[in-house]
Protein backbone atom coordinates (compact mmCIF):
# COMPACT_ATOMS: atom_id res chain seq x y z
CA UNK A 1 0.00 0.00 0.00
CA UNK A 2 1.22 3.56 -0.68
CA UNK A 3 2.11 5.95 2.12
CA UNK A 4 1.61 9.70 2.40
CA UNK A 5 4.09 12.04 0.73
CA UNK A 6 4.75 14.15 3.84
CA UNK A 7 6.82 11.55 5.67
CA UNK A 8 4.21 10.68 8.32
CA UNK A 9 4.12 6.95 7.41
CA UNK A 10 0.34 6.95 6.96
CA UNK A 11 -0.67 3.97 4.83
CA UNK A 12 -3.49 4.48 2.36
CA UNK A 13 -5.34 1.77 0.43
CA UNK A 14 -4.97 1.85 -3.35
CA UNK A 15 -7.52 1.04 -6.06
CA UNK A 16 -6.00 -2.42 -6.56
CA UNK A 17 -6.43 -3.41 -2.88
CA UNK A 18 -9.36 -5.49 -1.76
CA UNK A 19 -12.05 -3.40 -0.04
CA UNK A 20 -11.31 -3.21 3.69
CA UNK A 21 -13.14 -0.65 5.82
CA UNK A 22 -10.80 -1.29 8.77
CA UNK A 23 -7.73 -0.30 6.76
CA UNK A 24 -9.50 2.83 5.53
CA UNK A 25 -10.64 3.77 9.03
CA UNK A 26 -7.09 3.29 10.36
CA UNK A 27 -5.72 5.64 7.69
CA UNK A 28 -8.38 8.25 8.47
CA UNK A 29 -7.62 8.05 12.20
CA UNK A 30 -3.92 8.52 11.51
CA UNK A 31 -4.74 11.68 9.55
CA UNK A 32 -6.95 12.97 12.37
CA UNK A 33 -4.21 12.30 14.92
CA UNK A 34 -1.97 14.68 12.98
CA UNK A 35 -4.64 17.35 12.51
CA UNK A 36 -5.80 19.95 15.08
CA UNK A 37 -9.00 18.75 16.75
CA UNK A 38 -11.12 21.25 18.70
CA UNK A 39 -12.30 20.74 22.27
CA UNK A 40 -14.56 22.80 24.52
CA UNK A 41 -11.99 22.77 27.34
CA UNK A 42 -8.91 20.97 28.67
CA UNK A 43 -11.15 18.65 30.71
CA UNK A 44 -13.14 17.73 27.60
CA UNK A 45 -9.87 16.97 25.79
CA UNK A 46 -8.64 14.79 28.67
CA UNK A 47 -11.89 12.84 28.65
CA UNK A 48 -11.67 12.26 24.89
CA UNK A 49 -7.94 11.83 24.24
CA UNK A 50 -6.91 9.47 27.01
CA UNK A 51 -3.60 8.40 25.45
CA UNK A 52 -2.08 11.40 23.64
CA UNK A 53 0.99 10.91 21.47
CA UNK A 54 3.93 13.29 21.29
CA UNK A 55 3.38 15.87 18.55
CA UNK A 56 -0.43 15.91 18.78
CA UNK A 57 -2.02 19.35 18.67
CA UNK A 58 -5.37 20.64 19.90
CA UNK A 59 -7.39 23.85 20.09
CA UNK A 60 -9.20 24.77 23.34
CA UNK A 61 -12.29 26.80 22.54
CA UNK A 62 -12.91 28.20 26.02
CA UNK A 63 -9.56 30.01 26.21
CA UNK A 64 -8.71 30.21 22.48
CA UNK A 65 -5.41 28.38 22.84
CA UNK A 66 -3.38 26.06 20.63
CA UNK A 67 -1.58 23.29 22.54
CA UNK A 68 0.90 20.56 21.62
CA UNK A 69 1.55 17.32 23.51
CA UNK A 70 5.27 17.18 24.30
CA UNK A 71 5.34 13.56 25.41
CA UNK A 72 4.65 14.36 29.06
CA UNK A 73 1.93 17.04 29.08
CA UNK A 74 -0.07 19.44 26.93
CA UNK A 75 1.81 22.73 26.51
CA UNK A 76 0.61 26.00 24.92
CA UNK A 77 2.15 27.19 21.68
CA UNK A 78 3.10 30.81 21.10
CA UNK A 79 -0.26 32.09 19.85
CA UNK A 80 -2.37 35.13 20.56
CA UNK A 81 -0.83 38.26 22.01
CA UNK A 82 -3.82 40.46 21.15
CA UNK A 83 -4.93 42.68 24.02
CA UNK A 84 -8.44 42.09 25.27
CA UNK A 85 -10.58 43.35 28.13
CA UNK A 86 -11.58 41.54 31.29
CA UNK A 87 -13.44 42.60 34.43
CA UNK A 88 -11.26 41.97 37.50
CA UNK A 89 -12.82 40.94 40.79
CA UNK A 90 -11.83 43.24 43.68
CA UNK A 91 -11.93 41.17 46.86
CA UNK A 92 -10.80 41.29 50.49
CA UNK A 93 -9.92 38.61 53.02
CA UNK A 94 -12.89 39.28 55.36
CA UNK A 95 -15.60 41.10 53.37
CA UNK A 96 -15.33 42.35 49.81
CA UNK A 97 -15.31 45.99 48.73
CA UNK A 98 -18.27 47.27 46.73
CA UNK A 99 -17.43 49.42 43.72
CA UNK A 100 -20.62 51.50 43.82
CA UNK A 101 -20.26 54.38 41.36
CA UNK A 102 -16.53 53.85 41.00
CA UNK A 103 -14.95 52.11 38.01
CA UNK A 104 -12.76 49.10 37.39
CA UNK A 105 -11.11 48.09 34.13
CA UNK A 106 -8.70 45.36 33.12
CA UNK A 107 -6.87 44.30 29.99
CA UNK A 108 -4.51 41.43 29.23
CA UNK A 109 -2.66 39.72 26.43
CA UNK A 110 -1.45 36.15 26.20
CA UNK A 111 1.31 34.64 24.05
CA UNK A 112 1.79 30.96 24.78
CA UNK A 113 1.98 30.59 28.55
CA UNK A 114 3.00 34.22 29.17
CA UNK A 115 0.27 36.62 30.33
CA UNK A 116 0.63 40.39 30.73
CA UNK A 117 -2.17 42.25 32.50
CA UNK A 118 -3.13 45.73 33.72
CA UNK A 119 -5.91 46.82 36.09
CA UNK A 120 -7.14 50.26 37.19
CA UNK A 121 -9.64 50.92 39.97
CA UNK A 122 -11.02 54.41 40.57
CA UNK A 123 -13.18 54.79 43.66
CA UNK A 124 -16.46 56.70 43.72
CA UNK A 125 -18.56 58.51 46.29
CA UNK A 126 -20.58 55.34 46.97
CA UNK A 127 -17.64 52.90 46.97
CA UNK A 128 -17.22 50.87 50.14
CA UNK A 129 -13.93 49.26 51.00
CA UNK A 130 -14.69 46.00 52.76
CA UNK A 131 -12.64 44.48 55.55
CA UNK A 132 -9.29 42.73 55.42
CA UNK A 133 -6.49 42.63 52.88
CA UNK A 134 -7.27 43.31 49.22
CA UNK A 135 -6.65 41.22 46.11
CA UNK A 136 -7.54 41.52 42.44
CA UNK A 137 -8.32 38.58 40.19
CA UNK A 138 -6.01 37.53 37.38
CA UNK A 139 -7.32 37.08 33.82
CA UNK A 140 -5.93 33.51 33.72
CA UNK A 141 -4.81 31.32 36.61
CA UNK A 142 -1.07 31.34 37.27
CA UNK A 143 0.93 28.19 36.62
CA UNK A 144 2.25 26.06 39.45
CA UNK A 145 5.92 25.97 40.30
CA UNK A 146 7.05 29.54 40.88
CA UNK A 147 5.75 32.75 42.49
CA UNK A 148 5.91 35.94 40.43
CA UNK A 149 5.72 39.69 41.06
CA UNK A 150 4.09 42.65 39.36
CA UNK A 151 3.70 46.30 40.29
CA UNK A 152 1.22 48.30 42.35
CA UNK A 153 0.68 52.08 42.51
CA UNK A 154 -1.83 53.93 44.68
CA UNK A 155 -2.97 57.50 44.04
CA UNK A 156 -4.52 59.69 46.76
CA UNK A 157 -7.05 62.11 45.21
CA UNK A 158 -6.75 64.48 48.15
CA UNK A 159 -3.00 64.87 47.60
CA UNK A 160 -1.74 65.32 44.05
CA UNK A 161 1.73 64.12 45.07
CA UNK A 162 0.46 61.37 47.36
CA UNK A 163 1.47 58.18 45.55
CA UNK A 164 2.46 54.86 47.10
CA UNK A 165 4.39 52.14 45.26
CA UNK A 166 4.59 48.43 45.84
CA UNK A 167 4.38 44.93 44.41
CA UNK A 168 1.64 42.63 43.19
CA UNK A 169 2.37 39.18 44.62
CA UNK A 170 1.20 36.34 42.33
CA UNK A 171 1.56 32.99 44.12
CA UNK A 172 2.16 29.87 42.03
CA UNK A 173 -1.16 28.40 40.93
CA UNK A 174 -3.17 31.38 42.17
CA UNK A 175 -6.11 33.14 40.52
CA UNK A 176 -5.51 36.42 42.36
CA UNK A 177 -2.72 38.90 43.06
CA UNK A 178 -2.04 40.21 46.57
CA UNK A 179 -1.28 43.92 46.80
CA UNK A 180 1.66 45.19 48.87
CA UNK A 181 3.06 48.70 49.32
CA UNK A 182 5.74 50.14 51.58
CA UNK A 183 9.47 50.08 52.06
CA UNK A 184 11.89 47.66 53.68
CA UNK A 185 10.41 46.00 56.79
CA UNK A 186 7.31 48.21 56.70
CA UNK A 187 5.48 46.89 53.64
CA UNK A 188 1.95 45.66 54.10
CA UNK A 189 -1.08 44.48 52.16
CA UNK A 190 -3.53 47.10 50.95
CA UNK A 191 -6.80 47.50 52.84
CA UNK A 192 -9.44 50.12 53.60
CA UNK A 193 -7.08 52.19 55.76
CA UNK A 194 -3.63 51.40 54.32
CA UNK A 195 -1.64 53.09 52.82
CA UNK A 196 -4.34 55.76 53.22
CA UNK A 197 -7.94 56.09 54.32
CA UNK A 198 -9.58 55.51 50.97
CA UNK A 199 -12.07 58.05 49.64
CA UNK A 200 -13.81 59.24 46.49
CA UNK A 201 -11.49 59.56 43.48
CA UNK A 202 -8.58 57.51 44.81
CA UNK A 203 -6.92 55.20 42.30
CA UNK A 204 -5.26 51.81 42.31
CA UNK A 205 -3.15 50.46 39.45
CA UNK A 206 -1.97 46.85 39.24
CA UNK A 207 0.05 45.30 36.42
CA UNK A 208 2.42 42.41 35.79
CA UNK A 209 3.60 39.53 33.65
CA UNK A 210 3.44 35.93 34.80
CA UNK A 211 3.41 32.34 33.61
CA UNK A 212 -0.10 30.98 33.18
CA UNK A 213 -1.64 27.53 33.02
pLDDT of residue 65: 85
Does 127 score more than 50 pLDDT? yes
Q: Domain boundary residue among 47, 76, 105?
A: 76
Is residue 93 classed as helix, strand or coil in its secondary structure?
coil
Q: Which of 131, 142, 126 is nearest to 177 (CA)?
A: 142
Tell me what the mean pLDDT of segment 188-207 comes to: 96
Quick check: is 1 in a domain? no
CA distance 108 to 142: 13
Other C-beta atoms closer than 10 Å to the C-beta of 188 total 13
Quick check: is 31 in a domain? no
Q: Which of 208, 165, 204 is nearest to 184 (CA)?
A: 165
pLDDT grade, residue 6 (50/70/90)?
very low
Quick check: is 6 in a domain? no
The total number of structural domains that make up the chain: 2
Quick check: is 8 in a domain? no
Which residues, listed in sequence order, are joined to residue 67 by a DSSP beta bridge?
Answer: 58, 76
Does 58 score more than 80 pLDDT? yes
pLDDT of residue 45: 92
Least confident of 13-27, 63-77, 110-124: 13-27
% of the chain at pLDDT higher than 70: 92
pLDDT of residue 161: 74
Q: Which of 165, 160, 119, 112 is nearest to 138 (CA)?
A: 119
**Tens-place pLDDT, residues 87-120:** 999 999 999 999 999 999 999 998 878 999 999 9
48 shares a domain with 126: no
Within its chain, how far is the Cα of 15 from the centroid?
Answer: 50
Does 4 score more than 70 pLDDT? no
Least confident of 15-19, 173-177, 194-198: 15-19
pLDDT grade, residue 32 (50/70/90)?
low
93 shares a domain with 69: no
pLDDT of residue 172: 97
Instruction: Output b/e per residue, 69-92; b: 16+ Cβ within 10 A.
Output: beeeebebeeebeeeeeeebebbb
Q: Which domain holds residue 97?
A: 84-211
Contact 181, 192 (CB under 8 A): no
CATH code of the domain containing 151: 2.60.40
195 shares a domain with 142: yes
144 shares a domain with 67: no
Contact 153, 162 (CB under 8 A): no
Does 35 score more than 90 pLDDT? no
52 shares a domain with 102: no
CATH code of the domain containing 58: 3.40.1620
Does 186 score more than 90 pLDDT? no
Amino acid sequence: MPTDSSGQSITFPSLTDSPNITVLATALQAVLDRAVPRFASASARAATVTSPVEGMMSWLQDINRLDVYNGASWAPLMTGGTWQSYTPAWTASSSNPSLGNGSIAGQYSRAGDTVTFAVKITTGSSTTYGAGNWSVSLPVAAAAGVDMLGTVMVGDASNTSGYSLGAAYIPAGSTTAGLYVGGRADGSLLNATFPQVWANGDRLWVSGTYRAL
